[in-house]
Amino acid sequence: MLERWSHYAALPLRIVLGCSFVVLGLQKLGGYFDGPGLAKTAELMASGGLTPGTFWAWIVGLLELFGGAAIVLGLLTRWAALVLALESLVATIGAWQLTNAEFRLAALAAFVALALLGPQRYALDLKSPRLASWSRLGDTRGPASKAA
């Protein structure tokens, strides 16, 4: 009965995860949404052993901001999901991210699921043959090709 809706499975994942990571990036880079800001994030990175802290604060903040935006838009979805899954794994095992380990574990699982599902419907990946080929990661039979 719900088979006809299966091509939309990635859409709520993309919207919720992507928006969450855009907010996390804005919190780290600019202190928006009651976030720590760049200086405090750099301090936390350095205290966790990632030096120089400012460099890693910029990298993580930009990765979360632009990776989250790419996920929402469905732009290089599988690649962005894999990179953000790796970032979530590092944040989970890193000493500087103990406060929201449950969220990071859930995000890790959701990003792995999203990488396996592909962009599906309403994604920029499917608007261009070149982007569609990148989003498939070599799989021409997967959901990304069915949704095109």
- Enumerate the domain spans of the chain: 9-147
The pLDDT value recorded for residue 47 is: 82
Higher-pLDDT residue of 138, 78: 78
Question: Averaged over 40-46, what is the pLDDT?
Answer: 88
Q: Which of 89, 81, 72, 96 is nearest to 16 (CA)?
A: 72
Per-residue pLDDT band at 81 (split at 50, 70, 90): very high
* Full DSSP string of 76-101: SHHHHHHHHHHHHHHHHHSGGGGGGH
> What is the rounded CA–CA span in Å between residue 74 and residue 58?
23
pTM: 0.82
Q: How far apart are the first and last CA of the chain?
A: 22
Alpha-carbon gap, residue 79 to 21, rounded angstroms = 15
Residue type, 84: L
